[in-house]
Structure formats: C-alpha cells, structure tokens
Amino acid sequence: MNREQSRRFAIACLAAGVVVLVDQATKAAALGGLSQDERIPLLGDLLGLQLVFNPGAILSLGAGFTGLLTLLGVGAVVVLIVAAARARTGWWAVGIGLILGGAVGNVIDRLFSPPGFGVGHVTDFLAYGTLFIGNLADVALGAGVIVLAVNMWIRHRRVRASTPDNGVAGGPSPAAGSVVSGS
C-alpha cells in the first residue's frame, strides 16, 4: 500500500471509527433514557424517539434469521475493509467509511446485545413517522451510500464532459447537411 492509499484507508477508518463511537454512545443513551412504550415527538409525528430492539434487518425483515444476519454483517465488514484499503479517492474513502461504521455499529449489537452472542437485537430509537424505527448506524449507512452515489455521478459527468460525443467512434461526425463522398 503506497502513501496515498494509506491516507485514504486512514480516512475510511477515521470515518468508521467516529460513526461507531457516536452510534454506540447514542444507543447507550437511548437504553438509559427511552421507553419502549412511550414515543417522544421531535418533529411532530414525522420524527420521534422510541426504544425498540430489532432482531431483523431494515423493517425487521429476516427477524427469524438473526444469526444469519450477524454472519452476513461480519462478512460485509470484511468486504468493506478491503474496499476501504482500495479506495481510489478521498470521497470514496469517506463513503465507504460511513458504510463500514454503520455496519460495525449494528454488528456490535448483534454480537453483544441480548438475547445472546451472535443473535443480539439491534437497538433502534429514531422513529420516522409510522414507517420504521432506526438508529444512527442506519443514518451513516444511508449517508455513505449517498456520498458514493454523488461521487459516481460527478465522475460520470466529468468523463462524459471530457469525451467528445461525436456520434462516430474514432472521428468527428459530418456536419448537418454536408455531403460525404466516397471518392
């Protein structure tokens, strides 16, 4: 790994580390101060705080397969670490770092929260209307995906802007109305 790759890997690890620390701190605060029975409105009915324990993935999908979700989460963390080591830009490293931090935050819950090792339930507390309840790890996952998508969109636009769109591979297209002769 060269110096620039090491710098980008460090950026990804720093982003991931911040996400994990903030995620775990907010989950601890939620455990200490929120109730499963009472919802605290922040923005009326749009956003509130309510404690839930999610055995599944998003929208509680796969709730009966918590152990499998833990294994998938650990596998995703490994893949994301490799991706972080191969990040080609600083922004790509930030995006991967946010996703990595979110994944690690939720895997920590799955590994160490009740009801037991490897089958723990994820602590959620951010209630989005009546849609679902999530946590800051989930917010980081979404933010990381947005950073990567914007990065890809900008890169695509730059590539298109630097590549002449002339309609013919290998040369300019004839002007509109001009005659192209074969002789």
Give the pLDDT confidence of 94-106 residue by residue, as tens digits: 999 999 999 999 9
pTM score: 0.86
Residue 104, in any domain of the structure: yes
Residue 172, in any domain of the structure: no
Q: Alpha-carbon distance 90 to 34, whole Å?
A: 37
Catalytic residue among 45, 109, 124, 165: 124
Residue 102, in any domain of the structure: yes
Asked about 109 being catalytic, the answer comes back as no
> Tens of pLDDT along 5-51?
999 999 999 999 999 999 999 999 999 999 999 999 999 999 999 99
Domains contained in the chain, number: 1
Residue 173, in any domain of the structure: no
Which residues constitute the domain of residue 154? 3-161
Asked about 45 being catalytic, the answer comes back as no
- Would the pLDDT of 174 be above 90? no
Residue 110, in any domain of the structure: yes
Catalytic residue among 45, 109, 138, 165: 138
Residue 181, in any domain of the structure: no
